[in-house]
Chain A
Amino acid sequence: NAGVTQTPKFRILKIGQSMTLQCTQDMNHNYMYWYRQDPGMGLKLIYYSVGAGITDKGEVPNGYNVSRSTTEDFPLRLELAAPSQTSVYFCASSYTGRGKLFFGSGTQLSVL
């Protein structure tokens, strides 16, 4: 069972570059989320979606954009990468808004 799949696993960006983190899930979940995790810290919500075509900001949305054109996919776009965006990014999905979260294995991003 694939669950939540994130790509790439690792990436190094230069300041000012852009990239898209890919996330796809095969559980037909309506809810999808993007979190960032700084070293030794908990998770902070960047953006979330309650269904295809619907997205909303989380706690730390600045510098990021998302789209949700299908139930399965929820890509995260970084525009003009900054060192403050160095972090581990996790995509997650759930059947309900307060339900069990299923996480991908993360993308480790460094901006130098």
Chain B
Amino acid sequence: TQLLEQSPQFLSIQEGENLTVYCNSSSVFSSLQWYRQEPGEGPVLLVTVVTGGEVKKLKRLTFQFGDARKDSSLHITAAQPGDTGLYLCAGAGVGNEKLTFGTGTRLTIIP
């Protein structure tokens, strides 16, 4: 079973600050996805990274896939209250049709 550990589990910061959340595993993934989930809703895809070392930017969000494709990070610049939510990473194992979800990071941005 491939495990994805996310850290921190909880994060509460002031509006305007920067933050980074991490997604780590001992397994290699062929691709990795990041989702955001708001209360009472299903997760919504933010980005997919597929190449080791890949960096993708989505406005104030920067996603990076580790060189060895075992880890990923999400950096948010100048956090806003609208960034509040549960952030989930999900990895597709090599030769595996199923995604494994991480443990999640619950982010709260205080106005």
Contacts and interface: CB of A to CB of B under 8 A. Distances in A.
A40 B99 contact: no
Nearest to A99: B48
Interface residues of A, number: 24
B104 A100 contact: no
Interface stretch (B14-22, B38-46, B55-63, B69-77): B38-46
Contact of A103 (B31, B40, B42): B42
Interface residues of B, number: 27
Interface in A21-64: 31, 33, 35, 40-45, 48, 50, 58-59
Q: Is the interface of B mostly helix, strand, loop or mixed?
A: strand
Interface centre among A4, A43, A58, A97 (most CB of B within 10 A): A43
A35 B42 CA distance: 11
Contacts of A100: 33, 45, 48
A105 interface: yes
A40 B6 CA distance: 12
Nearest to B1: A59
Contact of B104 (A42, A50, A59): A42
A90 interface: yes
Given A40-B104, A98-B92, A103 B43 contact: yes
Nearest to B44: A103
Interface of B: 1, 4, 6, 9, 30-31, 33, 35, 40-45, 48, 88, 90, 92, 97-104, 106
Interface of A: 4, 31, 33, 35, 40-45, 48, 50, 58-59, 90, 92, 97-98, 100-101, 103-106
